[in-house]
Structure 1
Amino acid sequence: MDYDSSRVFVENVKAALNGKTLDYIVVNHMEPDHAGSLRLICDLYPDAALVATKKAVDMMAQFFGDELKNEKIVVKEGDTVSLGKHELSFYTAPMVHWPEVMVTYESFEKVLFSADAFGTFGALNGNIFNDEYDIDRDWLPDYRRYYTNICGKYGMQVQSLLKKALTLDIQMICPLHGPIWRSNLVYIINKYDIWSKYEAEGNSVMIAYASIYGNTENAAYYLANELSKLGVKDIAMYDVSSTDVSYIISETFRCSHIVLMSATYNLEIYPKMDDYIS
């Protein structure tokens, strides 16, 4: 949890425990938007053991020095921790999207705590479950933009995680960002499978252009019009100078065909186009 949200986070933890002892703190991911409050939680619950991968424990020392005095339990692929009727199993997921990442599976209620995998950009509106939303309408573009910009480079690693997930009986997915998936899990798993295989979602054309005086822009729109005459219906147009690159990257994954049109700048590719390509 981000340190700026620590007060609310601590209040929620205390309410959930309702006076009970906290025995374990499972750390799936050390990125500061999730682990920023770790020192505070450890100070409040010094007897709770930290459960994490070796790389995550190393990062704790880098982030917090020697301030985390709690016992540290280093887990490897397939290790388990019994909580009575609940049992936690741990599966490493390196580079999805940091090197220390693991996911945690709870076998009694069949819940996968998936770290950043299956997450999305955007804030919840009060509803917390996927079936309380129209995902295609309200969330899919942000799911795609999140995956392609956060994990898009690591398709092979995501495929490895998906293969592990398919061996588990998962009834619920709890990602660190976005709605909890309690129904139609195959929807988001299939999306991740498509994106991580770098497959297009349909027959479509993205035209991204960089124009200085408007001539390249005119050529881009001329091409789009000609494609329309040929029956192409899904055409996405982006001016790289006015569109955040995260949206263009997202469309690059979605579309089956890509056209890049750029003016030259000092004998090189126009800088904004070069940024996108890089």
Structure 2
Amino acid sequence: MNYYAVFDVGGSAIKYALMDETGLFIEKSSTPTPIEDIYAFIDTIDLVVKGYEQKADIKGIALSLPGAVDVEKGHIEGFSAIPYLHGPNIQKLLQERTYLPVEIENDANCAGLAEGWIGAAKEVKDYICIVIGTGIGGALVIDKKIRRGKNLHGGEFGFMIMEDYLDQPIGEMWSALGATGALIKRVAKRKGMEPNTLDGKKVFEMADHGDEEVQDEIKKFIKRISVGILNLQYAIDPEKILIGGAISQREDLIDKINETLSQMKNKAYSLHVQVEKCQFGNDSNLIGALYHFLQRRINSKISN
């Protein structure tokens, strides 16, 4: 059995795991994301890898990272909550430090790959994974492969313009309307509260306890999510559309989105559009990062 050190890098924490080639977790933990610079980050990853090397024969390192990850060149373009990650060749730096093969991939793409490997999309070839959090990201998978696009922006569904574009140069993006962060801001404004006093869980609890204003905002939130989903179905026509992110753990949310999509069906929009929940939750990025590593290594051997 082969073993791998796998990392999911977020703005506040790095989740990491020792995993085998089937996607089984041997052990997992987390550590705060370094705030200093890229060298502190490399030190953190190296320390975890050295610890795992005391327990198993590590064959490689797989990382899920934010931003526009260039898997061919080994660096990250764009921007994220961790500025120092953008620019340096992370793949090269880690390989030189650890003497192990390294593969990197975008976090939302990792979530999508996990579902296609051993999750909710394992039986289909073409699917979309929409990750709803502070913003909206996602993965576009065609024939079991990530569709990255010319500028590495394939799957950046949150940039779709949805509302208020006639009287503005651009208008409101889907992320600004259908993300959890957007819901929190709208509820806070309506209730005269500070946004930092709320999170998605608390907002839904307020609705569950009968707050009609919050219920109204959630209804609008679900409609905005549903409109974006309908657009994607007609633009790409995938076999499945999956919803991920912490908010997807609410079973009633998926049900309400599907109910809304059903109500939007008419003579023009005749397709049966339905979404499912991603299977792996907080583990999806780790699983997908490992799968990406394995596929890259298999393809490398074939090409050689």
Same fold, TM exceeding 0.5? Answer: no
Higher radius of gyration, 1 or 2: 1
The higher-RCO structure (CA 8 Å, 6+ apart) is 2
- TM normalised by structure 2 equals 0.28
**Greater strand share, 1 or 2?**
2
| Structure-1-length-normalised TM-score | 0.30
